[in-house]
Amino acid sequence: MCGILAVLGCSDDSQAKRVRVLELSRRLKHRGPDWSGLHQHGDCYLAHQRLAIVDPASGDQPLFNEDKSVVVTVNGEIYNHEELRKKLVNHKFRTGSDCDVIAHLYEEYGEDFVDMLDGIFSFVLLDTRDNSYIVARDAIGVTSLYIGWGLDGSVWISSEMKGLNNDCEHFECFPPGHLYSSKTGVFRRWYNPPWFSEAIPSVPYDPLVLRRAFENAVIKRLMTDVPFGVLLSGGLDSSLVASITARYLAGTKTAKHWGSQLHSFCVGLENSPDLKAAREVAEYLGTVHHEFHFTVQDGIDAIEDVIYHIETYDVTTIRASTPMFLMSRKIKSLGVKMVISGEGSDEIFGGYLYFHKAPNKDEFHHETCRKIKALHQYDCLRANKATSAWGLEARVPFLDKQFINVAMSIDPESKMIKKDEGRIEKWILRRAFDDEEHPYLPKHILYRQKEQFSDGVGYSWIDGLKAHADQHVTNKMMRNASNIFPHNTPTTKEAYYYRMIFERFFPQNSARLTVPGGATVACSTAKAVEWDSAWKNNLDPSGRAALGVHLSAYNAETPLSNMPSKVIDNIPRMIEVPRVAIQS
């Protein structure tokens, strides 16, 4: 992922202002360590920190049209850029960069070209002919983006809060799937597929259609001129991504750098569930597997860096981001610049364990829609910023625009979890890749039940975090929490600990408002409780302890000897407090 920063209409074209913009842009250098660029036109500045993935030799930014009247700074990947170039027959391109098409598409189609882009992106486009500009963010919000306003009437755009938090009177998260135009001064939603209205879809489930759509989503993300790999936890989602990628590389002659054998990466505490599961999948697929270990203390020592880079105080996001943050540093040390990851599947297919309790298909579908719409605040934010902290790019095929349209058009009755019919969570995805003749994965892996990422890296990880917070946050501090933090008041010592660190880095009121909480979190909890009142006393947002769901997924008559060891080993701790299986 690259880093972009733009200051638009700041009424100051002095050298001092240029120096300040450069200084702020350098705060994003971790996102793009390969090159820096800055273009100034009057009182507008477009800065870029580049992570070179496609055309590393000539794709430096900002990018321009032929006469340099249109300037663009982009963070993202445009997977259909070659197809788009063919449509732009009367245009000449300066680079081989996939993002080079944006300025030319604007020339040809005006502001309405954004929906033509197949990829993930955040960009600022300046038309110097009338000094107008547009800003846009991808459909789901895989790339991070913030917008701010200065007292002098300037508009600020940055990939991360740290690029603008000291210089803006107010700033907020730029909404996914939206475009902002200086001509109107308002946000306009450019991404508005049928599922977004939450109308109940009715397309019959066809496993082959779903399979092909996901294979296409994975394959298009192999567009790279640098070494890459896959993140492999051993769960269903990452294992399918790895399987499709390995098949494609084995059947083509286009693989570069590391050859046709896929490299996979996993992180965890010693003997954690993810390490064991990933090792098994890697052996089956024949990947070159890299296993990274960390200790609870390693993770605790990294918490401050994690919060600075992830820019949130959300508990589950920090829990899951820390191992990913540590792993990304190791991956980058191997010379890898891009990885493919499995975020988004649980939201699309109702993979969280509380979906077992969904009372009907309407409720099921509405909850998947709500969770997809919130992804930019949770898993997308984690995947984007935890990897970008080390100049590593994460690509997420489950959030491919075309794949989502296919998956969210399926009648949700097919997604419903029905134990009496042998249908566990994400059954339609598992069934789509259950190929007897040419298996993608072994059956027991294909039908393995979900594990939360923050638990899969090792069950003692969360316990260690709680114990550490307990040492640094007193009961007296908790009694006064609502006075110190009246907005999104932390209700646990762990949450209070994270909030203290966050406020030190980002003390502005605008910053704390970018983090979801209050009604958003209450909505998640309320839905789970509405479906099963046994969860009303939940004290922890992790999915680790949904014991009733874990056990009910297996036949009540199943002997303990046939249950997964991770379920058996943690029965005592999970009985202590009923908790709900909600990651976000």
Does 98 belong to an annotated binding site?
yes
Structure tokens that stand for 518 in this block: 């209050």
Question: CB of 529 within 8 A of CB of 541?
Answer: no
Beta strands in 151-259 (DSSP E): 155-158, 170-173, 178-181, 186-189, 228-231
Residue in 184, 135, 139, 189 with CA at minimum distance from that of residue 159: 135
Alpha carbons within 13 angstroms on the beta-carbon side of residue 322 total 32
Give CA separation, 218 vs 19, 71, 238, 357, 359, in Å: 41, 31, 11, 31, 33
- How many whole angstroms separate alpha carbon 263 and alpha carbon 283? 12
Return the DSSP state at 201. P
Structure tokens that stand for 488 in this block: 């999104």
Residue in 255, 234, 253, 226 with CA at minimum distance from that of residue 338: 226
Return the DSSP state at 350. T
Three-class DSSP category at 221: coil
Question: CB of 368 within 8 A of CB of 350?
Answer: yes
Does 344 belong to an annotated binding site?
no
What is the C-alpha end-to-end distance of the chain, expressed in Å? 23
AA letter at 392: L
Give CA separation, 272 vs 70, 228, 376, 455, 566, in Å: 51, 25, 28, 9, 9
Q: What CA dihedral angle connects 300, 301, 307 and 310, to 10 degrees?
A: -90
Beta-bridge partners for 179: 136, 188
- How many whole angstroms separate alpha carbon 379 and alpha carbon 383? 6
Q: Which of 2, 99, 168, 173 is catalytic?
A: 2
- How many whole angstroms separate alpha carbon 327 and alpha carbon 299? 11
User: Which H or E run includes 40?
Assistant: strand 35-41
State yes or no: is 99 an active-site residue: no
Give CA separation, 539 vs 32, 521, 546, 577, in Å: 39, 13, 12, 7
Residues in the chain: 584
Give CA separation, 476 vs 68, 480, 488, 501, in Å: 61, 7, 18, 18
Structure tokens that stand for 241 in this block: 């991504």
Structure tokens that stand for 576 in this block: 């202590």
User: CB atoms < 10 A from the CB of 474, how many?
Assistant: 12
Residue in 46, 92, 35 with CA at minimum distance from that of residue 72: 46
Does 470 belong to an annotated binding site?
no
Does 299 belong to an annotated binding site?
no
Three-class DSSP category at 62: coil
Does 267 belong to an annotated binding site?
yes
Query: Binding site membership for L-glutamine: which residues?
Result: 98
Known binding residues for ATP: 231, 267, 341-342
Binding residues: 98, 231, 267, 341-342
- Residues labelled catalytic: 2
